[in-house]
Amino acid sequence: MKYISTRGNNQELTAAEAIIQGLAEDGGLFVPESMPKVNMAFIEGLKNLSYQQRAVKVLSQFLTDYTQTEIEGCVERAYGDQKFDDAAIAPVNMLKNVSVLELWHGPTSAFKDMALQLLPQLLSTALKKTKAKNEVMILVATSGDTGKAALEGFKDVPQTKIMVFYPDNGVSRIQRLQMVTQQGGNVAVTAVKGNFDDAQSGVKEIFSDKAFNARLNEKGVSLSSANSINWGRLVPQIVYYFSAYADLLKAGKIKAGDQISFVVPTGNFGDILAGFYAREMGLPVKKLVCASNANNVLTDFLNTGIYDRNRDFYKTISPSMDILISSNLERLLYHITNDTAKVAGWMKELAETGKYDVGAEVLARIKEIFAADWSNDDATKAMIAKEYQQEKYVADPHTAVAWNAFEKMADKENVIIVSTASPYKFNESVLTALSKDIAGKNEFQLLDELAAINSFAIPEGLGNLKNAEIRHNQVVNKSEMTKAVLNFALK
């Protein structure tokens, strides 16, 4: 299977090449040129397999240039070896009124692990397959969660290095501790004096500095990013939609062929788009419900066909969804229209005016598959309290946004809420929502407080932070970032 750009240049790449390159030369995203199809026998065949085995079956449909053995190796290194605290990796928790697909049992307790554990393995294998000589150095600017998940994923992966920049005064104490205690022989973590924009614009400048990149190339190092537009980050996420369906089949909650819906807390549109791919492949999906917080640009788009990022930006209690440009939407537009010229035009309008309109016909096709809803912080907190009362289940704020959308659905039959973070990662908001007194308590006391009412224990990666050794204490000015990258590249 070949991969092409959503914007229509004539590049045709293998999966391995697309994963190494990341973004197409015309600025578009790589998509499979055709959609692999599976039948019900394939889906029923997943029922009695482990998550890893299911992953191999689904990934093989897309990564046709990887051998079976290569895919098995990647999957084992990503999801094996007790890196996840639940043997099911992405278990479906079947509660009284609804089922919850838990995507936060990985090393950093958030859904980013599902993709960022596998992407480095796919990349490292791709470098070997294509006999690439350079070492790939991943640069990440992070406001918290992605940086840690990327560090855990790339730690000690051959032919790669990772350097993460975080704002000196822009991450929570737990997030900072998670990063500065990072282990691994190929990792660097550096604080940048300033806020997230300083760190991010610093990294962007380094990526676009041609002379600097050429100099690194001469030394055998290529820079790359781990962000969610890489095909290698999207494809791992298709697996858990199949896995969830297989789990419901196995539990006798549905019969083969029954349609199910997923409600997905959405930011960059990667998670929910993976559900779209699963549906296009043949998984019986009725609706994909896109749940947003107050940054509800996608709710408006899915209701009107007009994408308009010219609006206020809100900092919410579900920060991983505080996004006004959802990059992966471009892939959906391509698959719905099959028209690269149209997609390129809309993306040009978005870049120039912050706005585009896909028109009534395209919108109608999208609405056959997608629905949308949003909730503000007050509604989200109220939801955390309400469903805790009903189900004794502690949801994090991102999951609660989806829960709210679920509550408002007319047809509640066979619905799965996709849960994207452990509540322990957002203990302050969660405890406040549950009317607990948090005044004067530090992060570790809050973890204990939450543990007293949650049926899940404190994740090891968070609990262990209290005594973990600090291994990274470099702090730089924005102007010193390039030098820091160079020093680490040559190390």
Ligand X SMILES: *Cc1c(COP(=O)(O)O)cnc(C)c1O
Query: CB-based burial of residue 339 (10 Å sphere; 0-12 exposed, 13-18 middle, 19+ buried)?
Result: middle
Where does this chain bind ligand X (CB under 6 A)? 110-112, 145, 228, 265-271, 320-321, 398, 420-421
Least gap, CB of 231 to ligand X (angstroms): 14
Looking at 96, 112, 219, 478, which residue is catalytic?
112
Structure tokens at 143: 């406001």
Direct distance between the N- and C-terminal alpha carbons of the chain, in angstroms, rounded to an integer = 38
Residues 6+ apart with CB under 8 A from 359: 305
Task: Give the residue with the Cβ less far from ligand X, 182 or 228.
Answer: 228
Task: Give the residue with the Cβ less far from ligand X, 145 or 247.
Answer: 145
Residue 476: count other Cβ atoms within 10 Å of its Cβ: 17
CA atoms within a 13 Å half-sphere pointing along the CA-CB vector of 380 = 27
Distance of CA 321 to the CA centre of its chain: 11
Least gap, CB of 144 to ligand X (angstroms): 9
Residues 6+ apart with CB under 8 A from 119: 19, 153, 226, 230, 232, 233, 236
Any bridge partners for residue 289, and if so which? 263, 371
Least gap, CB of 384 to ligand X (angstroms): 14
Contact yes or no for 238/246 (Cβ under 8 A): no
Least gap, CB of 169 to ligand X (angstroms): 21
Annotated active-site residue 112? The verdict is: yes
**Buried b vs exposed e over 198-212: b needs ≥16 C-beta within 10 Å?**
bbbebbeebeeeeeb
Cα–Cα dist 312/57, whole Å: 43
Least gap, CB of 104 to ligand X (angstroms): 8
Least gap, CB of 298 to ligand X (angstroms): 9
Least gap, CB of 208 to ligand X (angstroms): 24
According to DSSP, residue 323 is labeled: -
Task: Give the residue with the Cβ less far from ligand X, 6 or 266.
Answer: 266
Any bridge partners for residue 445, and if so which? none
Distance of CA 39 to the CA centre of its chain: 27
Residues 6+ apart with CB under 8 A from 27: 7, 347
Task: Give the residue with the Cβ less far from ligand X, 111 or 154.
Answer: 111
Task: Give the residue with the Cβ less far from ligand X, 120 or 265.
Answer: 265
**74, 66, 173: which is closest to 118 by C-alpha?**
74
Which is it for strands 160-167 and 187-192: parallel, antiparallel or unpaired?
parallel
Residues forming the active site: 112
